């Protein structure tokens, strides 16, 4: 089954909170917790939306994003990406993302953003 959303996030507690919030709204969610293998997960699962953390071990979210955008498969390369970051200013690395949210976030703002991106 293809999940609606793939979340790439290494902090287990944040991942759990996001999963709780979004599954309550009826979306299905898959999780990957490392920068390494993040791109492979997107390629295999082909989600409708990727929620991507910027600071990941081994491979940063920005690197995964630019690799995704460079994919030859146009529909895969165009997968919508919501970037989450705990850095003060989202760097230009996040420019290729469709939307950026700063941590911490309000739960209903996250829901609204995801709904907007999935519809």
Say how far residue 44 (Cα) sits from the centre of its chain: 15
Min CB(11)–another protein separation in Å: 6
The residue (of 79 and 113) whose beta carbon lies closer to another protein is: 113
Residue 83's alpha-carbon distances to 1, 90, 98, in angstroms, are 24, 9, 8
Min CB(7)–another protein separation in Å: 13
Min CB(53)–another protein separation in Å: 10
φ/ψ (deg, to 5) at 50: -115, 125
Which residues are CB-contacts of 97 (< 8 A; sequence separation ≥ 6)? Answer: 52, 65, 81, 82, 83
The residue (of 18 and 39) whose beta carbon lies closer to another protein is: 18
The residue (of 18 and 65) whose beta carbon lies closer to another protein is: 18
Q: How many CB atoms lie within 10 A of CB 101?
A: 18
Residues in touch with another protein (CB under 8 A): 11, 13-14, 16-18, 20-21, 34, 55, 57-58, 60, 86-88, 102-107
């Amino acid at each position: 089954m293809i999940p609606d959303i793939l979340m790439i996030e290494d902090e287990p507690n944040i991942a759990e909170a996001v999963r709780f919030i979004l599954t309550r709204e009826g979306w299905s969610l898959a999780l990957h917790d490392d920068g390494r293998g993040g791109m492979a997960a997107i390629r295999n699962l082909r989600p409708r939306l990727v929620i991507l953390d910027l600071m990941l071990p081994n491979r940063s979210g920005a690197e995964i994003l630019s690799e995704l955008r460079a994919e030859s498969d146009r529909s895969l390369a165009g997968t919508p990406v919501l970037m989450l970051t705990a850095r003060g200013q989202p760097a230009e690395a996040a420019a290729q993302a469709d939307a950026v949210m700063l941590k911490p976030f309000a739960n209903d703002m996250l829901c609204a953003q995801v709904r907007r991106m999935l519809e």
